[in-house]
Amino acid sequence: MSSLIDGESTGVTTVLRNEPVQARSAARLTSLLDATASVVAEIGYERLTTAMIAERAGSSIGTVYRYFPDRLAVLNALTARSLARFMTEGVPRIDSPENTTWLDAIDVTLDYWVDAFLSEPGFASLRFGDVLDLRPRPEGQTNNGLVASAVVSVLTTRHGMESDGDLQFHIEVALELCDAAVARGFALDPKGDDRFTTAGLTTAKNYLIDFYGDPRVTK
Summarised one tens digit per residue, pLDDT across range 189-198 is 988 999 999 9
Mean pLDDT across 113-136: 91
Tell me the pLDDT tens digit for each residue of 6-47. Answer: 443 333 345 555 555 455 678 888 999 999 999 999 999 999
Torsion angle of the four alpha carbons 173, 3, 71, 115, in this order, in degrees rounded to the nearest 10: 40
Which one has a higher pLDDT value, 28 or 92? 92
What is the Cβ-side half-sphere exposure of residue 113, based on CA atoms within 13 angstroms?
Answer: 29
Residue 140 has pLDDT above 80, yes or no: no
Residue 4 has pLDDT above 50, yes or no: no
Give the Cα-Cα-Cα angle 208, 209, 211 (nearest 5 degrees). Answer: 70
Tell me the pLDDT tens digit for each residue of 65-79. Answer: 998 999 999 999 999
Mean pLDDT over each residue of the chain, to the nearest integer: 88
Residue 197 phi, psi (nearest 5): -60, -50
**β-sheet bridge partners, residue 4:** 14
Tell me the CATH number for domain 2-212: 1.10.357.10
Measured between alpha carbons, how far is 86 from 88 in angstroms, rounded to an integer?
6
Domain boundaries, the chain: 2-212
